[in-house]
Amino acid sequence: MPRIFIFGFGYTAGFIARALRPLGWEIVSTGSAGTLSFEDEGNVRLALADSDHVLSSVPPGDEGLDPVLDRYGDALAGAKLSYLSSTGVYGDTGGAWVDESAPTGGGRRTARVQADAAWLARGARVFRLPGIYGPGRSVFDRIAEGRAHRLKIAGQVFSRAHVEDIAAGVVAGLDAPAGAYNLSDDLPCNQNALVEEACRLLGIAPPPLMTLEEARLSPMARGFYAENRRVANGKAKRVLGWQPRYRDYVSGLRALSATTSPASASSAPIPASSDQR
């Protein structure tokens, strides 16, 4: 039975584990839903020594250090390594397409860029993820909570991926050659199109168009809109043999809408002061 040690058993890692268990994998993990505490160094090191694969979904800290590499880097030798990174490492490209050959480090996520590079230097499979959505974490939830916006921003585009497609890509890539892999869907779009499609599926009117100032977004949310790129996924398809089941936001939202109540989604107001993400 192969064993994988997962640092940071959160939303996406949970879907990865769900995809691995039917294939006979044993899962050991840290995090609030994990089997071990990150601070339990003795047992963590024992489990790492008996693991075939190590996957980290832990983001870098405020000081730019990767917590996993900083504390357990010396215990990772011998295991195949994987790391969940972000397509934010590419920074703003003015809406142009980026693949894994594009330079990194020009954006607002300096710490993530450093962590991404550190895992690559160790021979990891680094999965660069765009906006993640899925059950319990999608535009439908933001609509229900009154946090969905349509903004007057010309030409802003971003990529996303359904969490189940991300899990399938990671599983396909665990034994792949080391390197970076973008796991995104096939159709980047602007945020307004996403909100409008979700409202159409719910049978409700979309929120009004606003300027950034009218929406009164947090600095973090405004930073999200400061970057504009389309993420290419050709390498993952070619090397991993991966194909996203939800190739665009329309098919992904349609699947999620089957379990979303129109009444609950339309019950909350949409205040101008709510944050986007």
Q: Where are the domains of the chain?
A: 3-260
Provide the percentage of residues in the chain whose pLDDT is more than 90.
81
Is the pLDDT at 268 greater than 50, yes or no? no
**Residue 266: band (very low, low, confident or very high) from pLDDT cuts 50, 70, 90:** very low
CATH topology of domain 3-260: Rossmann fold (3.40.50)
Q: Is the pLDDT of residue 170 over 90?
A: yes
Query: Across all residues in the chain, what is the average pLDDT?
Result: 91
More confident residue, 31 or 218: 31
- In this prediction, residues 203-211 reach a mean pLDDT of 95
- List, in order, residues 6 or more apart from 266 with CB less than 8 Å away: 143, 202, 204
Neighbour tally for 120: CB within 10 Å: 18
Angle at 6 between CA 176 and CA 183, to 5 degrees: 45
Q: Look-up: residue for tokens 């160094």?
A: 41
Mean pLDDT of 56-61: 95
What pTM did the predictor assign? 0.92
Model confidence at 261, pLDDT cuts 50, 70, 90, reads low
